[in-house]
A and B are shown apart, each in its own frame.
Chain A
Amino acid sequence: MVNIFITSLIAIFVSNSPFSQDTIQSKNSIVLSMNAEMSKLDFFHNIQVNTELYNLLSLEASVGVNVNKTYFQRSFAPQFSIGIGYDLLKSKNRWKLIPMIKSRTTMIDLSESSRLRYLEGSVGYSLAYGEKWYVTQGAFIGRGKEWYNTIDSQVNYWAYSFYFGFGYEF
């Protein structure tokens, strides 16, 4: 029984370790995608990059804009996010299911002299289907904070977001 356990541990180490032969030989893919996101704060339009770290962890970073503020109110409101997760369906099929923790920040200029800043931390999943072209979807829930001009936090709130997009693997 102990032997089976130790053998299993070695097998996991050999197949997933950053130092394993498999990792050294594998190619690090980059998926570039565009998505539309609905969140507690507003609608966003993002460009997202997904890649793998040591063939073990999945990294996600995105830049985007608040659609209503930027396109329809001509007040540039950017958003940045970064997330890290693990692909549960690794190399199994065309699906990627990545439970993920994510942090994102955005800001809105209320006037020339005052700005609202937001920081959110959330957990959720990122789902992708495809080979070269991917359809992506994700949902997150967490907590957020808003700052208004000063460094004092104005309010804490429940944050949520849901996105849908498509991407291409390079």
Chain B
Amino acid sequence: MSFKAFQYIVFLLIFFSCNEKESFKDVRIISHGVSGLYNPKSFHIDNTKEAMHYVLKFEELEGIEIDVQHSLDGSLWMFHDEFLDDRTSELGRVCEKTDVALSQATYMDLNSTSISRLSSIDWSLNNGDKDVYLDLKNLNACISEAYTPGQFISILDEINGKEDVNVFPIINDTAFAHTIHNVGYKVFSDALSYGEAKERLSLFYHGVVVRNGILTSSEVSNLQINNKKVILLDMFSMSGVRDGLRKYPSAVLVEDFKSAIIERN
């Protein structure tokens, strides 16, 4: 009985190893939240300077998505959630805090990692061509504190073209995004459905970021006409990444970029 079970296991291993491997060389890999927003294998906290300096060194990684929010003083800080409460020593929104308050805030981890300012990144550590997607989050969270497109453009200009880095903003606010588009940047938007993605792409947007489960492969190729870009996200397992790659989007936004690179290659 046990020998039969052994035979069965050997058969399964041979079966899996004999499947022909698909190639997805044209699909770019983008790391979500710098080193993965939901990645237990990550050595660093997402959206931090430490994580950024780590991932920049990987030549095989073609893209990095950074979640950024503006402070009360108008600087950009790397942080995903609207509120600081759950993950840091500070309370409240990022946009309600001064630069001084944010520089003193730390994550609740063993190393008490600081929240990182976008300007603290050393771009000279970059290895190979990288697309950097700046996801400008919670733009209207603090109504009283207006963050202007001009402020954002000056940040984009500082980064773009430096050390083989191409920067792409992700902005859902259409008016704000249009101003950025008008100075020559290729702007992306989030979309919650195929219809919304199509509508966004019919405007000035260069590409959309959509959840993998929402789109079929034919919808992905429909959206990619006229050289528009489709980035798929929400792939937490390798089978999820494989499913996303099989739709041949422009890029996949992944949690574990090392495994995704191996899968793609």
B58 A148 Cβ-Cβ under 8 A: yes
Q: Which of A69, A71, A75, A158 contacts B16 (CB 8 A)?
A: A71
Which residues in B have their C-beta under 8 angstroms from that of A69?
259, 262
A157 B43 Cβ-Cβ under 8 A: yes
Which residues in B have their C-beta under 8 angstroms from that of A74?
17, 21
In the complex, which range does the number of interface residues on chain A fall in?
20 to 34
Task: Give the total number of A-B pairs whose CB atoms are below 8 A apart.
Answer: 45
Q: Which of A41, A72, A109, A158 contacts B110 (CB 8 A)?
A: A158
Interface: B54 (CB within 8 A): yes
Question: Closest approach, in angstroms, between the C-beta of A114 and any C-beta of chain B?
Answer: 6
Complex-state Cα separation, A114 to B61, whole angstroms = 12
Interface: B13 (CB within 8 A): yes
Chain B residue at minimal CB-CB distance from A41: B41
Majority secondary structure, A binding face = mixed
B59 A108 Cβ-Cβ under 8 A: no
Complex-state Cα separation, A102 to B120, whole angstroms = 38
Interface: B121 (CB within 8 A): no
B179-200 vs A: 1/0 string, CB under 8 Å? 0000000000000000000000
Q: Which of B51-95 contact A (CB under 8 A)?
A: 54, 57-60
Complex-state Cα separation, A74 to B242, whole angstroms = 13
Question: Closest approach, in angstroms, between the C-beta of B18 and any C-beta of chain A?
Answer: 10
Which residues in B have their C-beta under 8 angstroms from that of A116?
258
Q: Which of A109, A148, A154, A158 contacts B262 (CB 8 A)?
A: A109
B263 A73 Cβ-Cβ under 8 A: yes
A34-68 vs B: 1/0 string, CB under 8 Å? 00000011100000000000000000000000001
Question: Closest approach, in angstroms, between the C-beta of B265 and any C-beta of chain A?
Answer: 5
Interface: B101 (CB within 8 A): no
Complex-state Cα separation, A74 to B259, whole angstroms = 11
Interface: A111 (CB within 8 A): yes
B59 A40 Cβ-Cβ under 8 A: no
Complex-state Cα separation, A69 to B17, whole angstroms = 12
Chain A residue at minimal CB-CB distance from B61: A110
Q: Which of B57, B60, B259 contacts A154 (CB 8 A)?
A: B57
B41 A110 Cβ-Cβ under 8 A: no
Question: Closest approach, in angstroms, between the C-beta of B225 and any C-beta of chain A?
Answer: 31
Q: Which of A102-128 contact B (CB under 8 A)?
A: 108-112, 114, 116
Assuming A74-B21, A148-B57, A154-B54, is B238 touching A110 (CB within 8 A)?
no
Interface: A146 (CB within 8 A): yes
B258 A155 Cβ-Cβ under 8 A: no
B262 A40 Cβ-Cβ under 8 A: no
Question: Closest approach, in angstroms, between the C-beta of A39 and any C-beta of chain B?
Answer: 10
Complex-state Cα separation, A157 to B265, whole angstroms = 27
Q: Which of B16, B43, B60, B265 contacts A155 (CB 8 A)?
A: B43
B238 A114 Cβ-Cβ under 8 A: no
B13 A110 Cβ-Cβ under 8 A: no
Which residues in B have their C-beta under 8 angstroms from that of A72?
16, 238
Chain A residue at minimal CB-CB distance from B258: A110
Complex-state Cα separation, A72 to B238, whole angstroms = 9
Complex-state Cα separation, A141 to B184, whole angstroms = 51
Interface: B261 (CB within 8 A): yes
Complex-state Cα separation, A111 to B13, whole angstroms = 23
Complex-state Cα separation, A44 to B56, whole angstroms = 28
23 contacts between A and B (CB under 8 A): A40-B41, A41-B41, A68-B238, A68-B259, A69-B259, A71-B13, A71-B16, A71-B17, A73-B262, A75-B262, A108-B262, A110-B258, A110-B262, A110-B265, A114-B59, A114-B60, A116-B258, A146-B43, A148-B57, A154-B54, A155-B54, A157-B43, A158-B110
Closest 5 CB pairs of A and B: A157-B43, A75-B262, A155-B43, A73-B262, A110-B60
Task: Give A residues with C-beta under 8 Å from B.
Answer: 40-42, 68-69, 71-75, 108-112, 114, 116, 146, 148, 154-155, 157-158
With A73-B263, A110-B58 given, can you name 11 additional A-B contacts, CB distance below 8 Å?
Answer: A42-B41, A68-B238, A68-B259, A69-B259, A69-B262, A71-B13, A108-B262, A109-B262, A110-B262, A111-B60, A111-B265
